[in-house]
Structure 1
Amino acid sequence: MSTAKVLTVGSAVGSIRDLFAKIKSIDDKHGKFDLVLCLGDFFGPPKDAADAYEEDHEVMQLLNGRLEAPVECYIMQGEYPLPAPVIEKFAKTGGALSQNVFLLHKSGVLTTAQGIRIACLAGVYDSNVYASEDALGFTSPYFTSKTVEKLLANTLTTSKPKEQNYTSLASIKSSSTSSQLVDIFISNAWPSGITHFSSAPLPAPELASIGVEPVAEIVRKTKPRYHFTSGGGHPPRFWEREPYTWDEDNGRVSRFVSIGAFGGEQPSGKKPRWFYAFSIAPLSATSEPQPKPANATQNPFLHRPPKRPLDTGAQQPGKRSRTDGQGPSDKPPAGYKCKICESPEHFITDCPDREKPHEGYICRICKESGHFIRDCPVKNAVGDTGGRKPREGYVCRACASELHYIEDCPVANQTGHGNRQGRRGPPKEIAPDECWFCLSNPNLAKHLIVSIGSECYVTLPKGQIIPTHQGANHPNVPRVPGGGHVLIVPITHYPTYLSIPPDLAEPIVDETEKYKAALRSMYAKHGAAAVCFEVGRMSAKGGHAHVQVVPVPSKLKNAVEDAFNEEARALNITFEDDPDEALRACAGGRGGYFRVDLPDGRKMVHLMRDHGPFSIQFGRQVLVSILGMADRFDWKACTQSEEEDKEDVAAFKAAFAPFDPSL
């Protein structure tokens, strides 16, 4: 990994050719730049219809390759919906609008060739729209809570243009951690509180109150080293805040810069600064602490500014006086010692060690050291219906699920046997850091990941069906290295594949099918066939879509369909006569389903009833029956040591490498 030289520019507002000419001039004089981040509205207000863009329009010249960028440019959505031709090109290419111009997802994260992680939150904030249940696409100028959740779910992944061949995905595979930190964050909206503790004069007084809390929440979780925005007023003004630090993250330094617009309406007087050039190198866990800048202020996202005192000239009794409004409480009186660290320099409420558990402290929830119970990352873990997460080994008596208690079960509550009221409110959405498949969850078993693509990753599951150490001599064990039972998981959090918004689904589904095809080819080399199945549960509103792929010996592949039908009859499960029509009925998340892809490519689909029982272990139940391995039904009984898991991962990755579409 190496230092990246980055140029950030303000909104072009449709002046694309002029902006490219300016970028070339700056690059010739101060470059060479590795990339350009184009903030805000690149295209300006869209026309009413797609056919309103004539061939000579700059938008069409860009899309047709006749208007070329001098440096690799990444653009975002600003305050307007994107032009229809741009959205159509994005849908076809996944982001590449022309040879050197790439459109970032509305809530995406990419990693550059130098290892720099860049997060983007596009669109503008509206409190009435923000609570929407949908992650709005480019046809809307707004972002919602789902947009923010998707961004935070993706902070350990990359979203790269399909035509690029970045090597950073390989680095993710080898260095994936539970950290959500990013190097650069770009947004239109300012974060709330960013002006607190700052003495840098604002170019307009109204900027002191334009920040919004969702952006501040992203900053608190991702701690960007640089945060650039384009929404500093109308027209946008330039404002650079003093740096601030995150002491608990090795003194990480953050900088906030709001950039003026290149094109469009300009404020009166001198044109605001519309570009910002800088160099940045990736940080790692072993990097030396960054020196604290001399002008660094308190962190506006960790501290609240002091309340403005009443102008009475007297101090309230019993209250400690504050300093000049820029720091913590005054020093303690003579003889005072902090009860935590025994320092005479501060009160106990200001002690830097206050939030650190004493040596030997173990959290009672996760049995780990290093944090108090109140800070435990899994303290709020919930089941698939929004209630408490059951203890290990619990099985709901109403529907056989292991992911919720019976009092939270929709089946039990429908019949009045759940909680005392006989019903429950809508289930709560599982947050990305609580989802067991989101890469941002610190509890995800990242050592089991075997491949990461642009839209999906592939991982061995905990307790896979195929025995690889004990029991590996079973006569029906497929001879796929590492076992071969894997999950294909979309990087972005969606409940099911059919609930993915249509304008975002194509690249995810395409990559999933590529992985399926690659796995089939790999299995065939080792005398096995692939059975793929997905449990698409919508009623729980909180799962993470994934497809399980399990190898079976080629001699048993013709028995798969009969086995599913036989087990389905025993459980009163019916498969639809027209699988494709059944899947269309569930499009847009309109219902739950169970899908099987047979070894010969045909599909079997069961539509779940709204309140009917369906075991999420149905697919596994059928597969262990086919293989004659009834003892492998309970995945918890099949878990291995981390060392054994890593042996399986190494064996599988080596065998899968010639087929892996991400390589």
Structure 2
Amino acid sequence: MAAPLRVLACGDAEGRLEALFGRVRAIQDKSGRFDMLLCVGNFFGSTSDTEWTEYRTGAKKAPIQTFVLGANDQETVRYFPDVSGCELAENITYLGRRGVFSSTSGLQIAYLSGTESQDEPAPAYSFSSKDVTELKTSLLSTPNFKGVDILLTSPWPRDVGNFANSPGKIDTKKCGSTLISDLAASLKPRYHFAALEKAYYERLPYRNHTVLQETPQHVSRFIALADVGNTSKKKYLYAFSIVPMSLMDPAELVKQPQDVTENPYRKSRKEAQKTKALVCAEEEPACQFFFDLNKHQGKKRPSDGKERGNSQPKQAKNPSQPTGPCWFCLASPEVEKHLVVSIGTHCYLALAKGGLLPDHVLILPIGHYQSVVDLSPEVMEEVTKYKSALKEFFRSKGKRYVLFERNYRSQHLQLQSTGRSHSAHR
């Protein structure tokens, strides 16, 4: 395998070039030379002129080959004389409005400058849906396209926090860009860097394929970086090593880490709400001899996640990580895949090993959840769909649908389902 490249990524510099490059020098003195520095967010700020003049005139030189994104507001557009990209100073290069940069080593870096705009054409400091479509088309039309090594954007992708570890105070359902979510879903970057929120967030890696339905693909890692020199000491520089995808062994490239999650962009919120409304409209009242998991003290589970007498929405937990081998995590080598019947986006259906009856099946979340009460709304929605389908199946066989949750000597939720003939209840 080729020698890995050593790369640094940086959040909003906001004109604090001395602080940034001073920190880079210290890192290189301690850890050796890095190949490049990638800057996302605001490279220039409102007080950039004094420090920038020294670099622009050559009085000072960046200690590393530095690549930056373009303006995010009208005030800093003046620092970028050529929208297609250009050298701003020695060792400092503006990549351009959008495109793909391929290094001599084969590393492929896709980039999109600016913030999202609804206008066509977009202002000089923004991008539009047309920009995203053209960037996607230029790459997806490449024969045997598998993804890019790195994606650089200034805004976060909308919904990046779905199925993942908490991003802190940042609400990923409100911040960021839906266009960037679409771009990331299509380009499948191994690393995606963003900024602008003055926060550090390293998301758990996520899949770019559906387990057992698609050929395994590499995982993606999203990292948001804080602003240079922030007083809260949030991380603004990220160091990593990477071998270009084109030079990697295919089996090594698609290895899945233990903490991998579902793809946060696979299903839009609008589609989820539409599906949920359809399921709720079609589902009949339950008639079971065990506790109905769709009931809450005789009432249907509130669709907005709020409990009676409590104005705060219930916070669904993210999938946890098993403390050891788990028989029911779909990505685990312990799972007996020959028993799998159906796989959805968040859940799957499997035959019970040593079932109580011949038609004993399990509804299981793909992610590692311990109990129904821990499920996120998206996972619960798919559990409901599976329950509805099984209920209809057993009814067609002249049986009643029996469902119960089992959690014994296991940390993975198991919804046990089977059918019993009407005569068995008399």
Tell me the TM-score range normalised by the shorter chain.
0.5 to 0.7
- Secondary structure (helix, strand or coil) at the match of 2:30 reads helix
The structure-2 alpha-carbon separation of the partners of 1:314 and 1:279, relative to structure 1 and needing over 3 Å to count, comes to farther
Aligned partner of 2:111 in structure 1 is 120
Alignment partner of 1:209 out of 158, 169, 174:
174
Distance 1:63 1:38 in 2: 17
Where in structure 2 are the equivalents of 1:119-198 lying within 5 Å?
119-125=110-116, 129-130=117-118, 132-137=119-124, 141-155=125-139, 177-179=143-145, 181-198=147-164
CA contact (8 A) 2:65 2:91 kept: yes
TM-score, reference length from structure 1:
0.40
Aligned partner of 1:251 in structure 2 is 217
Distance 2:318 2:61 in 1: 51
Where in structure 2 are the equivalents of 1:132-531 lying within 5 Å?
132-137=119-124, 141-155=125-139, 177-179=143-145, 181-198=147-164, 200-232=165-197, 236-247=198-209, 248=214, 250-263=216-229, 266=230, 270-284=232-246, 287-289=250-252, 290-303=254-267, 312-313=296-297, 326=319, 327-329=346-348, 331=350, 335-336=358-359
The structure-2 alpha-carbon separation of the partners of 1:303 and 1:17, relative to structure 1 and needing over 3 Å to count, comes to same
CA contact (8 A) 1:106 1:123 kept: yes
Q: Could you list the runs of 5+ residues in structure 2 that have no partner in the other structure?
A: 277-292, 302-315, 320-345, 367-426
The structure-2 alpha-carbon separation of the partners of 1:16 and 1:296, relative to structure 1 and needing over 3 Å to count, comes to same
What amino acid does structure 2 have at the position aligned with 1:296?
Answer: V
What amino acid does structure 1 have at the position aligned with 2:190?
Answer: R
CA contact (8 A) 1:58 1:67 kept: no
What amino acid does structure 2 have at the position aligned with 1:181?
Answer: G
- Decide which structure has greater strand share: 2
Aligned partner of 1:64 in structure 2 is 57
Deviations 1:576-634 (A, max 9, x none): xxxxxxxxxxxxxxxxxxxxxxxxxxxxxxxxxxxxxxxxxxxxxxxxxxxxxxxxxxx
Q: C-alpha displacement at 1:10, in angstroms?
A: 1.4
Where in structure 2 are the equivalents of 1:492-571 lying within 5 Å?
none
What amino acid does structure 2 have at the position aligned with 1:123?
Answer: G
CA contact (8 A) 2:62 2:92 kept: yes
Q: Could you list the runs of 5+ residues in structure 1 that have no partner in the other structure?
A: 48-52, 158-175, 318-322, 338-343, 351-663
Distance 1:249 1:5 in 2: 29
Deviations 1:491-547 (A, max 9, x none): xxxxxxxxxxxxxxxxxxxxxxxxxxxxxxxxxxxxxxxxxxxxxxxxxxxxxxxxx
Distance 1:191 1:239 in 2: 12
Distance 2:77 2:266 in 1: 41
Deviations 1:217-266 (A, max 9, x none): 1011100011111023xxx1111111111234533111111111004xx4
CA contact (8 A) 1:225 1:252 kept: yes
What amino acid does structure 1 have at the position aligned with 2:121?
Answer: D
CA contact (8 A) 1:39 1:78 kept: no
- Secondary structure (helix, strand or coil) at the match of 1:36 reads strand
Q: C-alpha displacement at 1:202, in angstroms?
A: 2.5
Aligned partner of 2:29 in structure 1 is 28
The structure-2 alpha-carbon separation of the partners of 1:242 and 1:205, relative to structure 1 and needing over 3 Å to count, comes to same
Deviations 1:174-221 (A, max 9, x none): xx62516211111121112211111x2322153453132101110111
Alignment partner of 2:70 out of 66, 69, 77:
77
Q: C-alpha displacement at 1:282, in angstroms?
A: 1.5
Structure showing greater Rg: 1
Distance 2:294 2:86 in 1: 54
Aligned partner of 2:386 in structure 1 is none
What amino acid does structure 2 have at the position aligned with 1:238?
Answer: Y
CA contact (8 A) 2:41 2:155 kept: no
Aligned partner of 2:408 in structure 1 is none
Distance 2:67 2:131 in 1: 19
Distance 1:182 1:27 in 2: 27
Distance 1:20 1:205 in 2: 28
CA contact (8 A) 2:85 2:95 kept: no
CA contact (8 A) 1:136 1:147 kept: no
Alignment partner of 1:111 out of 97, 102, 114:
102
Higher relative contact order (CA 8 A, sep 6+): 2
Q: C-alpha displacement at 1:69, in angstroms?
A: 0.6
The structure-2 alpha-carbon separation of the partners of 1:345 and 1:76, relative to structure 1 and needing over 3 Å to count, comes to same
Alignment RMSD (CA, Å) = 3.5
CA contact (8 A) 2:152 2:193 kept: yes
Aligned partner of 1:11 in structure 2 is 12
- Secondary structure (helix, strand or coil) at the match of 2:162 reads coil
Distance 1:257 1:14 in 2: 21
TM-score, reference length from structure 2:
0.61
Q: C-alpha displacement at 1:80, in angstroms?
A: 2.5
Distance 1:194 1:84 in 2: 28
What amino acid does structure 1 have at the position aligned with 2:263?
Answer: N
Distance 2:268 2:318 in 1: 11
- Secondary structure (helix, strand or coil) at the match of 1:150 reads helix
Q: C-alpha displacement at 1:18, in angstroms?
A: 2.2
What amino acid does structure 2 have at the position aligned with 1:155?
Answer: L
CA contact (8 A) 2:205 2:261 kept: yes
What amino acid does structure 2 have at the position aligned with 1:26?
Answer: I
The structure-2 alpha-carbon separation of the partners of 1:187 and 1:202, relative to structure 1 and needing over 3 Å to count, comes to same
CA contact (8 A) 1:202 1:239 kept: yes
Deviations 1:63-101 (A, max 9, x none): 22222110100011253236465323x47x941112211
CA contact (8 A) 2:99 2:135 kept: yes
- Secondary structure (helix, strand or coil) at the match of 2:27 reads helix
CA contact (8 A) 2:349 2:362 kept: no
Aligned partner of 1:493 in structure 2 is none
Distance 2:75 2:57 in 1: 17
Alignment partner of 2:80 out of 61, 76, 87:
87
